[in-house]
Chain A
Amino acid sequence: MKLKKRVKTNRIILALVSLVLGFMIAYSYRITETAQDGRVITDRQWEQDLNLRNQLIEQEELNRTMQQELHEKQEMVREFEADLANEAQVYFNLAEDAEKYRMHLGKVKVKGPGVKVTLADGEYDPMEDNINNYLVHEHHVFKVINELYISGASAVAINGQRLTHNSYIICDGPVITVDGNQHPAPFEISAIGDPEVLVSALNITGGVKDQLVNDQIIFSLQAVNDLVMEPIIAKK
């Protein structure tokens, strides 16, 4: 009886011991398993992995250097483009200036709103004994031209002939000579500029128009919306 009881306690203690052992083994197994967690790779795989990694690193380095090169090149291209843009701007300005100067010099056809002034000899008047009193003289033409220039005309032509910075006008008896070309009366002076300004400048009281009318000259003034001036032609 006593022996049996001892055996039983013995078994219980043994059960406790084996429980602890089993727990420890199972727990350790679990921990090891989770720690490794499918990272079991063979030597060959590892080597291959390393190889691939090295290749990747090489490629990335190559990529980076290429990228840097690309950036440098792009920077260069950008500089070139900026230079080009600058140059283009300069050329554009030059071309614009050239065009403007050509217009001023009368080398090209110009077009724009303006006025047309016609000066015609006065009617024959038997009361006047001096015919010069009702003819158009070059100083009349000068007056009109000067007034037009002062009022801001950018191009002036007489009977279709453009005047330039070194034009000359001479009274040559019945005609006037502009740069060597004779023009008979009536003289049609056309000017490009703001028509309103030009018209009111000529019409001002005691101004050119009044003076010319005083000199028995038939003066007609007409604002034109679309005036075309041919370039200066060579001497005829």
Chain B
Amino acid sequence: MWLPLMGLVIGVIIGLLTDIRIPEEYANYLSIAILAALDTLFGGIRAQLQNIYDEKVFVSGFFFNILLAASLAFLGVHLGVDLYLAAVFAFGVRLFQNIAVIRRILLAKWSSNGEKEKKNDIF
């Protein structure tokens, strides 16, 4: 478990230390990409909890979603349509759904554990 955590810490450090300036309008794409990444991450966690986790799907989804979201925002800017709203909406809705599912699964696990313990206490 320490390897992904270390990866996260290293990524944060690199991100804070990089001094590359990008134009302000491209910062939007980055935000969308982050949203996509978070969505995929929570999707992966949900899949893990539901035991349908597939590594290839997760990794490919992670990078593909990032690129798709960024390019969608890029296209939107160049077409004059706020297409990034579509990405925000889609990823936002899915993010909430995923988190809700995770919460329910965790709640169900926790309550079933509690029942088990109770049963153990009784018997």
Contacts and interface: CB of A to CB of B under 8 A. Distances in A.
Given A26-B16, A31-B27, A35-B27, A14 B7 contact: yes
Contact of A28 (B1, B14, B30): B30
Chain A interface bracket (under 10, 10 to 19, 20 to 34, 35 or more): 20 to 34
Nearest to A27: B15
A12 interface: yes
B24 A24 contact: no
A23 B27 contact: no
A15 B12 CA distance: 12
Given A11-B4, A27-B18, A21 B37 contact: yes
Contact of A32 (B1, B8, B27, B66): B27
Contact of A16 (B7, B38, B41): B7
Interface string A1-42: 000000000111111111111111111111110010000000
A128 B14 CA distance: 145
B10 interface: yes
Given A12-B3, A15-B6, A18-B7, A24 B15 contact: yes
Given A28-B30, A31-B30, A23 B15 contact: yes
A10 B53 CA distance: 11
Interface residues of B, number: 32
Contacts of B30: 24, 27-28, 31
B31 interface: yes
B5 interface: yes
Given A17-B41, A17-B62, A35-B27, A26 B14 contact: yes
Contacts of B11: 18-26
Nearest to A34: B21
B106 interface: no
A16 B7 CA distance: 6
Nearest to A24: B34
Given A14-B7, A15-B4, A30-B16, 19 more contacts: A10-B55, A14-B4, A17-B4, A17-B41, A18-B11, A19-B10, A20-B37, A20-B63, A21-B34, A21-B38, A21-B41, A22-B10, A22-B11, A23-B11, A24-B37, A28-B30, A29-B15, A29-B16, A31-B22
6 contacts: A16-B7, A28-B31, A30-B16, A32-B27, A35-B24, A35-B27
A-B pairs with lowest CB-CB distance, top 10? A26-B15, A22-B11, A15-B7, A23-B11, A19-B7, A19-B11, A27-B15, A18-B8, A14-B4, A22-B12
